[in-house]
Amino acid sequence: MPKKIPEQKNKDIILSLDNVWKIYRMGDVEVPALKGISMNIKKGDFVAITGASGSGKSTMMNLMGCLDVPSKGQIYLKSKNISNMKESDLATFRGKTIGFIFQQYNLIPSISAFENVKLPLEFMEYDDQTAIDRAKYLLDLVGLKERMHHTPAQLSGGQQQRVSIARSLASDPEIILADEPSGALDSITGKKIMDILYRLWKDEGKTIIIITHELSLTRYAQTIAELKDGQIINIRQNKKVNKK
Amino acid sequence: MKLSKCFKHASNMVVHSRLRSWLTIVGIVIGVAAVIAIMSLGTGMQESISSQLGDLGGDIVTITPGFSSGTKMIGMRGGTGSKSYTSTAQAVEEETTLDRTDVQTLKTIPEIELIDTNIKGTVEVSYLGKSGSVSLTGVDPKVWSKITTSKIKEGRMLDASDQNVVIIGGLLASTYFDRPLGINKMITIEENSFRIVGILDDSSTNIYMPITMAYQIIDDIDTDTYDSIVLKIEDEDLLDETITKIETRLMISRHVTSNTKDFTISSNKQIQDTRDETMSSINLFLIAIAAVSLLVGAIGIANTMFTSVLEKTKEIGIMKAIGAKNKDILRIFIINAGLIGLIGGILGVMLGILLSGSMSSMISGTVFTRGGTIVSIESIILALTVSISSGIVAGLIPAYQASRLHPVDALKYE
């Protein structure tokens, strides 16, 4: 198991989990979803976290994405211990550092693709023109410039996921955290989405973390961590994937 | 997030939850419309009563014969031209009057500036073959013009040398007879001819003439007895003290005690205060009724906001995941609730104005609506303020709950 990287000592580590436990209470019974996970993710890495249903993948994603706090242990994001941060500071830090892609896209249904992409920038109080330009640029990047004023209901699943990718890139975060990004898509569309993520990793230097139960998707990843019953049972490097 | 953006997202929420938001807005519309319509009725009533009573003048005190205490009322002249007594079943006493002795007593009180003696009766008046019964008041022509709060519209007031002349009310002059009456026209009162020298700026059918002439016209009243004595006091601030002094002096001169008192002193200020208090009570009562419907509307907003938060739980989770802070969510939901209140308020004001218009025509002619219904700016501001603030207050708890949602729990919500 990798040991915690002490703060400021290893600038290459962007996300570090140190003996992280997540325990849910079901009445009087305590159910541990994660049991002492320790893992360091390097900046610019492409990490796939795999495992069967109930292995703790989603819990791990929530913790890595600072959406939840661990029951025990510490999580360091860019050397900052997020367990000690105030909710409002954490929201800003999360918004700036991590872009989320969800299996069910999670777009706001009542607003257009363009407005969805612009939304994170509004929360971060970007000036209007910058937000407009950036949203247009990102929708162009994912090939949806022509459909930017459509609402999510007027877009196909693949197009919605591309909007979701554009939204995740809005604040130019260092980490893209994707939960089953192709899980709700057919294999061809799923591949297109994975290709976009791959390009973001390779060309833009983003740190990509995908959570998936599909072993076929691990071929994109440089680092593959396998979860079982709330524990990492294997971490390996994929020699076939090379950034250069 | 900037406030303008919160406003944009809150408006978007109203637009995209059409049916629920609009049903809630209907609740507020009804509440606000009720407040506006009822307040307009209240203001109309107030105006109506004020215009009928006129500006009473706070320094005027009226003394009338008779005194009502509990079940006992000492008799006084009815003022109908025939001798009559007002009494209870338990006690019928001899008629009491006011006379020259009382006036002499009052003249010894330095706080009194002017004294006007009045007699009243109902008389038959005719003009160009048409006749009717109207109220006639005999006044002291030397004093009346200085003491009355009535205003002259045409002609002049009475003066000391006047004999067979009258001053008439505005309504009597304009529409009472087939043709309007004007200055210097002659009218017949109880078979005596009188010249009109002044027309009052009011909507009454009263006739005023010098008291010496009135004694000859009104039946059953002895010369030098009066139906009322009207006083103007020097200092309005000393009203209560002056009334006490008048009461004491009159009780001594009339040989009565507080138990056998046979006269009543009333001040216009007291009447005015009582009138204002009564109107305020009626208004408050009406507003309380209307406020209930506004309260129901506010509860509707709270209900809608709770449902909205529940429905938007996942969206709140998404927003938090992409950088929304608690205060952003709080603002969006509070503005949303305030907007529902504002839209409801504006539509409610419009409906209220329409309602008050139709209400005045529906129940016109009743005592309450002679002044019509008047929608005041104050009532509009009040209704809008209450509707917006009730929206915000009703939305506070749901908005707070929304802002405190844990992102991971909110995202899981289906």
**Cα–Cα distance, A235 to A60 (Å, whole number):** 15
Residues in A touching B321 (Cβ below 8 Å): 65, 67, 94, 100, 106
| B346/chain A closest Cα distance in angstroms | 26
DSSP B215-282: HHHSSS--TTEESEEEEEES-GGGHHHHHHHHHHHHHHHTT--TTT--EEEEEHHHHHHHHHHHHHHH
Which among B12, B15, B324 is the nearest to A91, CB-wise?
B324
Give the residue, A211 or B358, on which the prediction is more confident.
Answer: A211
Whether A106 sits inside 8 A of B318 (CB atoms) is: yes
What residues contact residue A108 under an 8 Å CB cut-off, 6+ apart?
Answer: A115, A116, A119, A152, B315, B318, B319
| pLDDT 10s digits, B17-27 | 768 778 888 88
Nearest to B188 by CA among B135, B134, B126: B126
Find the range with the poorest average confidence among A68-82, B197-211, B249-263, B373-387.
B373-387
pLDDT recorded at residue A5? 47
For residue B67, what pLDDT band results from cuts at 50, 70 and 90? confident
Average pLDDT over residues B85-104: 65
ipTM: 0.86
Contact B21, B340 (CB under 8 A): yes
Confidence (pTM): 0.65
What residues contact residue A89 under an 8 Å CB cut-off, 6+ apart?
Answer: none
Helix (H, G, I), strand (E, B) or coil at B373: coil
User: Residue B84: is its pLDDT beyond 70?
Assistant: no
pLDDT recorded at residue B368? 47
For residue B258, what pLDDT band results from cuts at 50, 70 and 90? confident
Q: Other C-beta atoms within 10 Å of B370: how many?
A: 17
Nearest to A217 by CA among A188, A194, A196: A194
Chain B contact probe: residue of A89, A100, A106, A112 with most B CBs at under 10 A: A106
B406 touches A: beta carbon within 8 Å? yes
Find the range with the poorest average confidence among A235-239, B93-97, B206-210.
B93-97
A152 touches B: beta carbon within 8 Å? no
B318 touches A: beta carbon within 8 Å? yes
Output DSSP code: residue A229: T
| A11/chain B closest Cα distance in angstroms | 25
Q: Which domains does chain A show, CATH number per domain?
A: 44-68+87-237 (3.40.50.300)
> Is the four-CA dihedral A128, A134, A139, A143 of positive or negative sign?
positive
Nearest to B411 by CA among B316, B295, B272: B316
Q: List all residues of chain A from 44 to 73 with a beta carbon under 8 Å from chain B.
A: 62, 65, 67-68
A132 touches B: beta carbon within 8 Å? no
Query: Which runs of consecutive H residues, i.e. helices, occur in chain A?
Result: 57-64, 87-97, 113-123, 128-141, 157-168, 187-204
Average pLDDT over residues B372-398: 82
pLDDT recorded at residue B56? 62
**Cα–Cα distance, B124 to B219 (Å, whole number):** 12
| pLDDT 10s digits, B273-286 | 777 788 788 878 87
Residue type, A159: Q
Average pLDDT over residues B123-143: 91
Which among B16, B314, B323 is the nearest to A95, CB-wise?
B323
Residues in A touching B1 (Cβ below 8 Å): 122-123, 125
| pLDDT 10s digits, B313-357 | 888 889 988 889 999 999 998 998 888 889 988 999 999 888 888
Whether A88 sits inside 8 A of B327 (CB atoms) is: yes
Segments of chain A scoring below 70 in pLDDT: 1-10, 243-244
Whether B323 sits inside 8 A of A171 (CB atoms) is: yes
Residue type, A227: L
